[in-house]
Every structure is written in structure tokens, then in C-alpha cells.
Amino acid sequence: MAEEYPLKLDRDAVLANWKVGAMGTRWLDKLVAAGEVRQVKSGGYPNIYTAPVGSIVPLLLGHELPSDEDVPMRKPHEITIERDKLAMCSPDEMLTIVVWDQS
């Protein structure tokens, strides 16, 4: 997990963004365990994952964002999803998922 991952966060390249409580990223851990997502950096500043569009985009285009939070104030909020851009991605294209610990 000590692999270096170059992160160049160009705002135009952000396809989805939201805030969520501490347990709101467990869905990613489940996808890592299932082999659908790869975690390339941990530590929270940030955690970085890579995944094919086919594993992630259907979750983002659903009625509700993935989250294991059960407290309403910790559920996903301040949500921005570029639905048109996500829908144009091919299923085998790779996405980078960046998760920042806000504590």
C-alpha cells in the first residue's frame, strides 16, 4: 500500500463530489474486498482508490448514493454528480476515487 499515486485534482475532472459521515465510505471497503475496487493509498489525507466505471457509476447514478450511515445528518449531503459526463464513460474506463478525512 506504500505505492505512490500521483494526484492532480483538476476541478474539471471531478465527476462526483459529496460529504458523508465517518462510516459513509464503507461501501468502498466492501468493493475492495470483492475485488471490484483497488485501494492505492490509505491514511485519510487522502485515501485513493481506482475502479472501472462499470463498478462505480451504476451506484452513483442510482436514487441514493451508497452509504452505511444510519444517522440522517451523516448521510451524503452537499452532493454534486455530473450525470451526463458519467453516463458517457465506457464501463472499462478507470476512475480515481479520492476520499478525504475531514476530521
The count of C-alpha atoms lying within 13 angstroms of the C-alpha of 36, restricted to the half-sphere facing its C-beta, is 14
Residue boundaries of the structural domains of the chain: 11-99
pLDDT (0 to 100) of residue 52: 95
Q: Nearest 5°: CA angle at 37, between 39 and 28?
A: 80
Please state the separation of Cα 61 from the chain's center in Å. 13
pLDDT (0 to 100) of residue 5: 54
pLDDT (0 to 100) of residue 73: 67
Q: Quote the pTM value.
A: 0.80
Mean pLDDT for back-to-back runs of 10 residues, the chain (103 residues): 56 81 85 94 86 91 76 75 91 89 71
Cα gap 18→80, rounded to integer Å: 6
pLDDT (0 to 100) of residue 37: 94
